[in-house]
Amino acid sequence: MAYDAVTQRDAPLSDAALSQLFTEARTRNAWSDRPVAPELLHKLYDLTKFGPTAVNATPARFLFITSPEAKARLAPLMAEGNRAKTLQAPVNLIIAQDIDFHHHLDTLFPHAPGAKDWFGEEAGRRETAFRNASLQGGYLTIAARALGLDVGPMSGFDAAGVKAEFFADSNVEPNFIINLGYGTDENLFPRSPRLSFDQAAKIL
C-alpha cells in the first residue's frame, strides 16, 4: 500500500494538465465579463497556502479587489497601460508582504520555539518577506490556472500610492498585482521566445 501511494504521488501530470498550467497558458490582457465566485477565491487561497516558504513564514498578504468602489481606488494608481485591463478584469489581486510576518512564527513554526527572534532586524525581515511573498505569488499563478482561471501579472503601478491607499498604518507593502478571471484573446501578444536550457541552465 505504501509503495502504491509513493508511485501515485510521483506520477507526472498529464500532458493536458501541463498544457493548462504552462505550455499553452498565456498572460491575458483582456477579460470576459464572466464573474469569479468568492468561493473560488477562497479555494485559490487554500491551494496557495500550501506552497513552501522559508520557516513556513508565509509573509504574503492577498487583497482581492472586486467591487466597483475598490476598483475606482486602485485604477488611478496603475500605470496608464495597465489601467483599462485592470478595470475590465473581474478581480484584481494585490499581492503584498507583511514585514512583521515573524509575529506569527510561534504558530506557523512551532517546532522551533523562539524562531521569531531570528528576525529581529528589519532589513533581514524585508529580504525574507519579499523573497517568499514573491514565491507565493508564483504558487498562486499556478493554482489559479489549475482552477481554470486566467492570470495577468503586472508590476506597473504606484507602489507608494497602493501602500497608502490600501495598507496605511500597517507594515504590509505591495509586491505586485495580478488580474484574475476568464481571459479573451483580444490584445493577446504572440508567444514570446524563451531561453533554451543551455542558455539558462547547467547541470553540475
**Pairing mode, if any, of strands 91-98 and 172-181?**
antiparallel
Parent domain of 123: 25-104+117-185
In a domain, residue 161? The reply is yes
CATH number for the domain spanning 174: value is: 3.40.109.10
**Residue 89: Cβ within 10 Å count:** 27
Cα–Cα separations (whole angstroms), residue 171 to 15, 97, 105, 163? 42, 8, 16, 9
Cα–Cα separations (whole angstroms), residue 172 to 17, 56, 63, 95, 107? 35, 18, 11, 10, 19
In a domain, residue 68? The reply is yes
The total domain count for the chain is: 1
Residue 154: strand pairing partners:
177
Residue 73: closest CA among 166, 176, 170: 166
In a domain, residue 204? The reply is no
In a domain, residue 198? The reply is no
- CA angle, residues 163, 164, 166, in degrees to nearest 5: 65
Q: What is the tens place of the pLDDT at every residue in 146-194? A: 999 999 999 999 999 999 999 999 999 999 999 999 999 999 989 999 9
Residue 95: closest CA among 119, 61, 72: 61
**What is the structure's pLDDT at 5?**
57
Q: What is the tens place of the pLDDT at every residue in 83-103? A: 999 999 999 999 999 999 999
**What is the structure's pLDDT at 9?**
77
In a domain, residue 160? The reply is yes
Q: What is the pTM of this model?
A: 0.94
